[in-house]
Amino acid sequence: MKLLRYGAKGAEKPGLLDADGRIRDLSAHVADIAGDALSPAGLQRLAALDPASLPLVPGTPQKDIRLGPCVGGTRKFICIGLNYADHAAETGAAIPTEPVVFNKWITAMCGPDDDVEIPRGSVKTDWEVELGVIIGTGGKYIDEAVALDHVAGYCVVNDISEREYQLERGGTWDKGKGCDTFGPTGPWLVTKDEAGDIGNLKMWLEVDGRRYQDGSTATMIFGVAHIVSYLSQFMSLEPGDVISTGTPPGVGLGQKPPVYLKGGEVMRLGIDGLGVQTQRVVRS
């Protein structure tokens, strides 16, 4: 299934993308794509529905229908840094021996096609296409062998990053990663049965039509099961939590000379089978 949330900011409704690429309303069955709806039993109930029996939402998603973040009720937006060997190399960083963990604030989450705002004073705003993991069943001290049982599905995330804030202003990475709109999420949550081989998905990102990132999850250092298990050693994971798992090479920081967003650009990015995002870059 491809589950989504559509409508105005803060008033999104739950929906399902049917085989014809149209939205079917799920409001009669779930309050949101969140909480118990993300559990194995909740997903099974939704999968049992006949999409043709659900109300059709007029319009075309991502054209005349706005999509919000594909999951609601998120309490943690956790990110993994330097998780692609080729990306670590382009930044001059050593390959980590354990996952590098940082956070985005929940206010960073936005719809897949919402504007991305460059913060006031920013001089080094950058892009990163990433595989997002959405937790369906919570837990802690999760064994790696069963870690994927805790996953509801996958999505596209653009891990927008302000490099000066992240790397040159002292402290942790978080303040360069969690600015408002720095986490476009979606367009939809793709359940595990439809997501394909998550260890070998092609992913790409373009700015104004120029392709900068053209990679694959095959170069991830730590796989999804390891990341879910690892994080659960330090915190309880909860339904709706989003884990962004790192980016392949081609970020602005890695260009020679570096290239950063100034405002007015259009970013377009996607992952095979998980959908495409498009964002206009604006200045705050």
Residue 86: CA atoms inside 13 Å, Cβ hemisphere, count? 13
Whole-number pLDDT of residue 92:
77
Mean pLDDT for the stretch of residues 14-42: 98
Q: Which of the residue ranges 5-19, 31-45, 85-99 would you say has the lowest mean pLDDT?
A: 85-99
Burial of 149 (0-12, 13-18, 19+ CB in 10 A): middle
Is 192 in contact with 115 (CB distance < 8 Å)? no
Residue pLDDT, tens place only, 222-260: 999 999 999 999 999 999 999 999 999 999 999 999 999
- In the predicted model, what is the mean pLDDT of the chain? 96
Whole-number pLDDT of residue 250:
96
Per residue, the 3-state secondary structure of 23-57, as one string, reads EEECCCCCCCCCHHHHCHHHHHHHHCCCHHHCCEC
Residue pLDDT, tens place only, 67-98: 999 999 999 999 999 999 877 777 777 889 99
Mean pLDDT for the stretch of residues 4-27: 98
Whole-number pLDDT of residue 88:
76
- Pair of tokens at residue 204: 């790409």
Whole-number pLDDT of residue 127:
98
- Pair of tokens at residue 114: 């919402």
* pLDDT for 163 beyond 80: yes
Is 208 in contact with 192 (CB distance < 8 Å)? no
Task: Write down the residue that tokens 């092609």 correspond to.
Answer: 202
Is 38 in contact with 136 (CB distance < 8 Å)? yes
- Pair of tokens at residue 6: 């559509």
**Terminal C-alpha separation, the chain:** 36
Residue ranges of domains in the chain: 71-283
Strand order in the sheet with 275-283: 116-118, 275-283, 266-271, 202-207, 210-216
Whole-number pLDDT of residue 252:
97
| Percent of the chain's residues with pLDDT above 70 | 100
What is the CATH code of the structural domain delimited by 71-283? 3.90.850.10
